[in-house]
Amino acid sequence: MTRKISGLKQLGEQTRLPQSPGDAELERVPNPHADTLYVARFTAPEFTCLCPVTGQPDFAHFVIDYAPKDWLLESKSLKLYLASFRNHGAFHEDATISFGKSVAELIQPHWLRIGGYWYPRGGMPIDVFWQHGTTPEGIWLPDQGVAPYRGRG
């Protein structure tokens, strides 16, 4: 039996892929453990967007860690939001920071960090890291698990 969560427009519904991040809608759900300090992690190893200058595709591995307060990030809306960048031009820094800020604004967590591990363009990877808030004391925070780029070495 499936039940509809009030206020959600995408979960449990057939949803079209948004054509741009401006068309995408991140959604949140109530945190049933708002009284507990913990970390949730989303990993998106196949993020793509376009270089705003050349139009060539760029690829990244995103790792999003956050310590929720009252809200959780709804995963289907996150998948659609990330996919909306596929035909959108954005520099690595802009895509990573805009993504992090959008999530932080929506769910207002205790703390959030995003690691954007970008695959090399022109032989040089550009990794982008952003944090919202101070890392809470006493939480278990594993390494993001993405090895630094080593090329042929």
As annotated, the active-site residues are 51, 58
**Nearest to 126, CA basis, from 134, 115, 110:** 115
Burial of residue 117, with CB atoms counted within 10 A of its CB: 0-12 exposed, 13-18 middle, 19 or more buried: buried
Separation between Cα atoms, residue 127 and residue 93, nearest integer Å: 8
- Bin 70: left if φ > 0, else alpha if -120 < ψ < 50, else beta: alpha
**Number of residues in the chain:** 153
